[in-house]
Structure formats: C-alpha cells, structure tokens
Structure 1
Amino acid sequence: MGVVTPPDLLSLAAQSCVDAAGLLRDIHVDVSSKGTFDQVSSADVEVEAFLRSVLVAGAPGSAVVGEELGSATASVTWYVDPIDGTRNFVRGLPLSCISVAAAVDGTLVAGCVLDPFRDELFTAAVGVPFAVQSSGLVITPGVSPRPLVLTDIPLPGSPYTGEMELLTDLLALADVRRVYSTALSLAWVAAGRADAAANIGVFPWDTAAGAVLVREAGGEFRSIGTNAFAAGRGEIVDWLAARVEGIVS
C-alpha cells in the first residue's frame, strides 16, 4: 500500500472531499425514506460511491465503512459520510457536510470535514495540526459567559428516556444550538465556534472525522456506549458526558 502515513491519508481524504463537493453542483436530487425518521437522497449514494472509488484507488487494499453502501475493514479503513445532515440538505438548508476519516489498525489518525455551502475545509491528522481553509467570511471566535453547546438531543423517535430532561437542564447552563449535522458540529467545536457537542444515536461515520479534528485541536472526544458521545473543552464536557451516559447506559 503506497499511502499509509497520517499526513498522506489526510491529503487523500481532503482532496477526495473537494472533488466530491464538485459533484453536488450537478447532481439531481431524489429523496426517499430510510426508516420512519430518516431520509436518504440520490446525492448521498452517488457521492459515497465516488468517495469509495477514489479513496480505495489512492490507498490500495484499504476498506470503507460508509453510511449508504455497506462496510468492510482492513489495516487502513475509511469512514465516509457523503452528506452528513441529509435532512437539512434535501430542504435546501446550508447545514450539511462531507466527512471522511482514516483509521490505521483501528486507531483514527486523520479526518476532514468539508462544508460545501461555505467552502470551508476542516482538516487534522496525527502530526498535522488542526486547520481551517475558507474562502468566505471568517470571524475570530469570541468568549461568552455561558458555554455554547451543539446538540440534537432529543431526536424524534429515540428509544431512550431522559433526553428532554437533559435538554431542559442544559438550557439552564448553556446556550444551545441544534445543527442536525454531527460532523459539522464537531468541526465547529474544533474551530472554537462552540464549546462542546453531544449526541445520541450516532454511527462511526458520523463522528470519526470530527473526533480527530477535536482531539488535534486540543479538545477531548469521549465515546459513550455504542452510539453516543460528548466532546469539546471545559467543565461542560464532564457534565454532558455524565448525563448522556446516564441515558444510554
């Protein structure tokens, strides 16, 4: 396999995201239901198919874990979410992204998140500091007296109890935004635009790239159970982690 170092994997992932974003400009979007509360678009499937072909060609012998087209594992494994935030995307809301991460022997080593609406690329890898490339207006994040938390809790149709109580208590402690794109939320936390993020009902392709971004930016990412996380900086992360763990355990 020619591409094995974290910087090389990051370079391949980032270029793949940029190229995939170009496809979105020409794709006709058809939407279908995926379960009671979720959707999938033709764009999701086409973009994931493109990413799979480019990533495996660039790193022969690697495998892909993707949201739409199945999973496999290898020494180098890619985690791909072609459009994270599909429900926003299909309604024309500019709150979705392309997310690609790489793991080597089970350890996440590189991640990138591309926001095609704002033309922002968030990147980081082991040995490569977190960075944001943007052609739009970028405001230096300020400091607020209350932490800013990004969370989609509670989600419709969730099997867990206690989510509404978590949100009620969180609103007393923090400012809260609902983004409905986990990868984009984590990228914004890494960039310092929010202090923390937490979600329940997530999958590896939702969080893999964002976990790398947050950690390499100096924050912490905590996996909770099999489908939840809390991430960010400061005491609010401890609070979120404890409350989320109490719900999913």
Structure 2
Amino acid sequence: MTPGDLLALAAQSCVDAAKLLHELPVEVATKGEFDQVSTADLEVEAFLRRALAVPGSAVVGEELGAASAPITWFVDPIDGTRNFVRGIPLSCISVAAAVDGSLVAGCVLDPFRDELFTAAVDVPFSVRSAGLVIQPGVSPRPLVLTDIPLPGSPYSDEMDLLASLMAVADVRRVYSTALSLAWVAAGRADAAANLGIHPWDVAAGSVLVRAAGGEFRSIGSDGFVAGRGEIVSWLAERLEGIVS
C-alpha cells in the first residue's frame, strides 16, 4: 500500500469512528492517579483496530496494547479523554501509519467541529471542515499550546518554564496533544510543546506539522516541540534543560 492508500484508510476509519461516538453510552473509570478511561475510548479503539486490519499490519494503541509489523498503526481513540468525559469539545481521534519504522501518514479528526486534518508522504497537508473557518492572522507574540505542567509530572522547574513562556508568548492549555499539533499544522498556533507524551499522542500530529512546513523535535524520551519560528528553538532549549 502507498502512503496515500494508508492515509485514505486512516481517514475513513476516523470518520466512521466519529459516527460510532454518537451511538456509544459513556461510562468513566480511573486509569492511574491522574488519568481516566471511558467506554468510548475502548469501543472506538476496538473499532479502529478492526478497520485498520490490513495484511502485514499491527496496531500500537493507547488502551488495548501494542504489536509490530511492516505497517504499524498508531491509534489514539480519544486524545483528550478528560475533556471528552466532561463535555468540553477539545478532543480528537488520531491515527498514523508507519512503514518499516518511518511515519508516512497521519490523520486527526475533531468530532465536535467535524474537522479532518490529513497528510502523508507525497500527499499535502489539508483540512476538511464543516464549520466556521477563519484564516489565521498575524500576532506580535507567538501563540504556544502546552499542557506543562501536568499533574504528577516527575520533572521540576516546569512552573518556571511556564512563567518564562508567558512572558514571551500567548499560551493556551488544550489537554489534547494531537489536536494541538493539528492546529499548529493549520497555522492556528505557532508552536506546541509537552512532556509525558506517548507515541500515539504525537505520531499523526508530527506527520501533519512536517507536511505543513513546520518542524517536530523529540525532547528526551517523552517530550516534543513542534512548530515554526524562533519560539521552537527557545522551547527546545528549555525543555532539554528540564528533562536532563
């Protein structure tokens, strides 16, 4: 399958999964001290695993485990579960495809706004939206999306980083990493940065950002900075200091 084929399958799977969300009753359980999981997370991931089950493929998912194969799918059924279960419309479905370890396609779908963000190798970044779309404007200060500091973080100095960041940038806390990266790719924000992330949080979003002309930098084993402009290097330097 070509990257375009993988993207088409990922996008259709996300669209169908969003329809499923409208039918599912949502019950919530705790998952660790600071996290939650809903029945919707489990049902949507199970659906995506079935929809993406092409020969020679395996799934790395947030809720139902991981496996490896020549084609690897990275699946986050609901990125931003804590928002989702409270009815806050800041969450998304995220699917990415890697071939022999290299990410080649990514899809993020916002089920609340019916926005689909897609890109792949040789397939340009695009946004399909059924809602109000405003062309991003220019601001004298960069807009940065970050959830730092997160509750229970093992890192120190995160509050100092947040204070320093707020002195040079506008800051928004979204609590959905994949959605934040999709918005950076679309030019709605200049950068996104987080710690404590997992591969399924950033796989699709990193494809989108790079396809849109931005950069994605991994920081340590569980952090990243993505975006455009000088703020990316500014954030990377400070995050590297925290994780080291």
Shorter-normalised TM range: over 0.9
- Tell me how many residue pairs correspond in the alignment: 244
Q: Tell me how far apart the structure 1 counterparts of residues 106 and 133 of structure 2 sit (CA, whole Å).
A: 21
Q: Tell me how far apart the structure 1 counterparts of residues 132 and 199 of structure 2 sit (CA, whole Å).
A: 31
Q: Tell me how far apart the structure 1 counterparts of residues 13 and 174 of structure 2 sit (CA, whole Å).
A: 24
Counterpart of 1:8, as a letter, is D
After superposition, what is the alpha-carbon deviation per residue over 1:133-186, rounded to whole angstroms, capped at 9, x for unaligned?
001000000000000000000001101101000000000000000000000000
> Which residue of the other structure, out of 208, 211, 223, is the alignment partner of 2:218?
223
Q: How does 1:26-175 map to 2 (within 5 A)?
A: 26-56=23-53, 59-175=54-170
Q: Tell me how far apart the structure 1 counterparts of residues 197 and 7 of structure 2 sit (CA, whole Å).
A: 23
Q: Tell me how far apart the structure 1 counterparts of residues 105 and 68 of structure 2 sit (CA, whole Å).
A: 16
RMSD: 0.4
Give structure 1 regions of 4+ aligned residues with deviation exceeding 3 angstroms: none
Determine helix, strand or coil for the equivalent of 2:105: strand
> Which residue of the other structure, out of 3, 22, 25, is the alignment partner of 2:19?
22
> Which residue of the other structure, out of 171, 176, 181, is the alignment partner of 1:186?
181
Counterpart of 1:30, as a letter, is E
Determine helix, strand or coil for the equivalent of 2:65: coil
Q: Tell me how far apart the structure 1 counterparts of residues 191 and 147 of structure 2 sit (CA, whole Å).
A: 12
After superposition, what is the alpha-carbon deviation per residue over 1:37-56, rounded to whole angstroms, capped at 9, x for unaligned?
00000000000000001101
After superposition, what is the alpha-carbon deviation per residue over 1:194-225, rounded to whole angstroms, capped at 9, x for unaligned?
00000000000000000000000000000111
Q: Tell me how far apart the structure 2 counterparts of residues 159 and 216 of structure 1 sit (CA, whole Å).
A: 32
Q: Tell me how far apart the structure 2 counterparts of residues 245 and 50 of structure 1 sit (CA, whole Å).
A: 37
Q: How does 1:202-241 map to 2 (within 5 A)?
A: 202-241=197-236
Counterpart of 1:20, as a letter, is A
Residue 248 (1) aligns with residue 243 (2): yes
Deviation at residue 61 of structure 1 after TM alignment: 1.9
- TM-score between the two structures when normalised by the length of structure 2: 0.99
Determine helix, strand or coil for the equivalent of 1:123: strand
Determine helix, strand or coil for the equivalent of 1:231: strand
Q: Tell me how far apart the structure 1 counterparts of residues 243 and 23 of structure 2 sit (CA, whole Å).
A: 41
Q: Tell me how far apart the structure 1 counterparts of residues 237 and 30 of structure 2 sit (CA, whole Å).
A: 33
Gaps of 5+ in 1: none
Counterpart of 2:176, as a letter, is S
Counterpart of 1:184, as a letter, is L
Counterpart of 1:139, as a letter, is I
Q: Tell me how far apart the structure 2 counterparts of residues 227 and 240 of structure 1 sit (CA, whole Å).
A: 15
Determine helix, strand or coil for the equivalent of 2:23: coil
Q: Tell me how far apart the structure 1 counterparts of residues 172 and 182 of structure 2 sit (CA, whole Å).
A: 14
Residue 201 (1) aligns with residue 201 (2): no
Counterpart of 1:81, as a letter, is D
Determine helix, strand or coil for the equivalent of 2:50: helix
